[in-house]
Amino acid sequence: MGYYTQHYPPNRNRRKRRGWLLPVVIGILVIGFFALVAVPNLMEMNRTATDTGQEENTDQATIGTEDGDGTVHTSVTVDINTQITDVVEEATPAVVGVINLQTNAEFWQQQQEESQAGTGSGVIYKVEDGTAYVVTNQHVVQGADTVEVVLHDDTRIEAEIVGGDVFSDLAVLRMEASGVEEPIEIGSSENVKRGEPVIAIGNPLGMMFSGSVTQGVISGTQRTVPQDFNMDGRADWQAEVIQTDAAINPGNSGGALLNLAGQLIGINSMKINEAAVEGIGFAIPVDTAMPIVEELEETGEVVRPYIGVEIYSLDEIPQAEWRETLNLPEDVQNGVYVWSVESGSPADQAGLERLDVITELDGEPVHNMIDLRKILYQEKEIGEEVTVTYYRDGEKRETTIELGSQ
């Protein structure tokens, strides 16, 4: 404790020499060790990591060279595979374009010419014995003289319209299977849930954007959308559809709505086309579509029960007419009135007459024209007998009709 302060004053020069010599020697030893041992090991580790990354990782970044002015240019190569890209890659060959060609004949022209009247999409659902079958929307091929199917590689094949159905808005096409790959895998729409991710593939705005992919979710199930087939301003039918926010535009009609397993769960059909509305599209559930598709494939048409009357809903006429013309009791608030009866039809044979008001079928209430059609088309069979409850001149009556076919 008194070595430096009492007997021996410190020698500053000697102390300074000791201070710089030892660190210098240690530093030389450390640098030598790093150069001889650590650097080669690190380089080897880097090579190993790079090799492993190239083999196992699909997301890679590669740094480029340095310019003479010190600027470093970095190039990034990304190869991303996800569940969605895998589904799209697998399903796209089964989604086709559909071109509606119609013949234009003018009086002064010697030769008729075909022109493109519309385009849409379709889905190859079956390949058998050298023949491929495509499901699309009826409104896509309506009025067509010729239909061309455009494959994903732009190959065009002329197709035959096997049959179509206006109520379901479905049609089936048949064509040669040359150049056709695997058909789509059919899934189920029964258990789809709101919020479930979905993928739509089709050809919006024509063949220019063929094979377009959009992603969204199931926005709602078992939706009903009124449809006016004859454009008279009143609904003729209510389609039961799946609602999705995946973008569906003109040209997507007839395309595929897929789940994340790549299975077909719906046939894209329509959207609400209003300026204030965005992201409301609809698809025909595949569980509803496939029985109709199979019937169209086998017979070329969908045969449904019919009774042979022209009907209108009561809510289409003023209530004053309910009392003055139809003579309905005040407690009758719903039903359909008969405007005409087809001669020799099941209704004619059962005794129904003009201005009769039907209120029930087999005890099931009939509120309007759509109710009556749904009971007949979805619950009854051709040849089945149905009890019809109706009013004539204010009197409640019943009759039995044996359903015919239409």
**What is the CATH number for 120?**
2.40.10.10
Cβ burial 277-293 (10 Å sphere, 16+ → b, else e):
eeebbbbbbbbbbbebb
169 part of the active site? yes
Q: Answer left, alpha or beta for residue 31, where phi above 0 means left and psi between -120 and 50 means alpha.
A: alpha
Residue 108 one-letter amino acid: W
pLDDT per position as a tens digit, 9-20: 444 444 444 455
* Residue, of 165 and 45, whose pLDDT is higher: 165
263, 342: one domain: no
Q: Name, in order, each residue with C-beta under 8 angstroms of 301's C-beta and a sequence gap of 6 or more.
A: 163, 165, 295
Q: Which of 169, 245, 356, 371 is catalytic?
A: 169
139 part of the active site? yes
Distinct helix (H) and strand (E) counts, the chain: 8, 23
356 part of the active site? no
Q: Which of 121, 212, 219, 253 is catalytic?
A: 253
- Is the entire prediction scored with pTM above 0.85? no
Q: Is residue 39 part of a domain?
A: no
Domain count, the chain: 3
**What residue numbers bound the domain in which 337 lies?**
305-405
Q: Which of 277, 299, 321 is the last residue of a domain?
A: 299
> Would you say residue 41 has pLDDT above 60?
no
Compute CA 88 distance to the chain's CA centroid, rounded to the nearest angstrom: 13
pLDDT value for 169:
94
128, 210: one domain: no
The two three-digit tokens of residue 98, written as one number: 């559909």
Q: Contact at 8 Å (CB) between 339 and 353? A: no
pLDDT per position as a tens digit, 333-378: 999 999 999 999 999 999 999 999 999 999 999 999 889 999 999 8
Average pLDDT, the chain: 82
- Residue 61's pLDDT band (cuts 50, 70, 90): very low
331, 314: one domain: yes
CA distance 239 to 200: 20
Q: Is residue 316 part of a domain?
A: yes
295, 309: one domain: no
Q: Is residue 8 part of a domain?
A: no
Q: Is residue 51 part of a domain?
A: no
> Would you say residue 209 has pLDDT above 90?
no
Nearest to 223 by CA among 271, 186, 165: 271
CA distance 18 to 11: 11
CA distance 287 to 191: 10
